[in-house]
Amino acid sequence: MGAFDRITGQARAAGILQRAILADRVSHAWLLSGSSASDLLGMALAFAQTLQCTQKDPRTADACMQCRSCLQAMEGNHPDIRIWGHEKPTTFSVDEVRSLVSDVSIRPFSSDRKVYIVPDAHLMRAEAQNALLKTLEEPPDYIVILLLTHSTDAMLETVRSRCQLVELAAGQAQYDPLLRQNAERLFLQIRSLELVQIHAAIKELEPMKPQIGEVLELFASWYRDLLYFKATQDPDGLLFPEHLSQIQSDAGRMSYEGIQSVLDSIRKAYQRLAANVSFDLTMELLLLSMKDAAA
């Protein structure tokens, strides 16, 4: 059993990474997106271990699990696999990113590559993401950076465009029931809500500010379902199959451009909140864009 074999339910994502290794086309920057933090970290660690393995299987591009490099990786003390964390639970600061950038200039200790795994990349505000941009644009030839995020919409376009995107299969992400209830009520009823009701809904969301990224991700998942169903008419790939009748109705009524405009508005909401724009104003603009698209 190799490193990738330990990860269940993610054969497509693992295949993308393994084919990149087999073809010797490993990008210096990857954006791994998915709802499960544990799946994201597990995939990133499997990729990092396999990149550093000195006896990887030449047919499958999976780690041997026996060489010194693999043993170090499995024990969590490989000198050239770095997991770059952040101190505050809701913010990845610009200073923490600048510290990573400074560390990148140090060459690998025992390998040809130096792999950085960055969980919670979506917590980087615009300034922090911009601090990483030059490294992504002009990377040393020995680095591989793996940015892990629960939503690519939280990342600046300039960052996304410089990374290879790998989306993990939807996991069974667990959201706070009240948070999910509020988010679902909004995207299910937005078409009929009046402005005063939208303002009231924003007030109800205010206590959930620390979790607003999860609310936005639920919004984005809904509109991705609409986009997917409109294109395929396939109910099996939906994240909200329990709302199939409304998905059929909304997808039939809304245009591709309208659905995409809402996804763009969700991305802008991430960026505005990261830039400390007023919470109430940001959410009002987003909900009004959702209402307009549903009209």
pLDDT in tens, 270-288: 778 867 789 999 999 999 9
**Mean pLDDT of the 130-139 span:** 94
- How confident is residue 172, by pLDDT bands cut at 50, 70 and 90? very low
Mean pLDDT (the chain) is 88
CATH 3.40.50.300 in the chain is located at: 4-167
In the sheet that 81-83 helps form, which strands lie side by side, from edge to edge?
81-83, 114-118, 143-149, 29-33, 164-167
Helix residue ranges per DSSP H, 88-234:
94-104, 126-137, 157-160, 177-189, 195-205, 212-232
How confident is the model at residue 74, as a pLDDT?
Answer: 85
Q: Tell me the three-class secondary structure of 102-132, residue by residue.
A: HHHCCCCCCCCCEEEEECCHHHECHHHHHHH
How confident is the model at residue 171, as a pLDDT?
Answer: 54
| DSSP per position, 14-30 | HHHHHHHHHTT---SEE
Residue 86 Cα distances to 14, 54, 78, 235, 283, angstroms: 26, 31, 20, 39, 27
How confident is the model at residue 59, as a pLDDT?
Answer: 86
The two tokens of residue 20 are 């990149």
Q: pLDDT at residue 80 above 90?
A: yes
The CATH number of the domain covering residues in 4-167:
3.40.50.300
CA distance 288 to 286: 5
How confident is the model at residue 5, as a pLDDT?
Answer: 75
Q: pLDDT at residue 291 above 70?
A: yes
- How confident is residue 175, by pLDDT bands cut at 50, 70 and 90? low
Residue, of 262 and 238, whose pLDDT is higher: 262
Q: pLDDT at residue 206 above 80?
A: yes
Confirm if 140 and 105 have CB atoms less than 8 A apart. yes
Range 177-294: architecture per CATH: Up-down Bundle (1.20)
CATH 1.20.272 in the chain is located at: 177-294
Q: pLDDT at residue 76 above 70?
A: yes
> Model's pTM, two decimal places?
0.64
Tell me the three state secondary structure of residue 221.
Answer: helix
Residue 190's closest CA among 93, 86, 284?
284
The two tokens of residue 158 are 């300039």
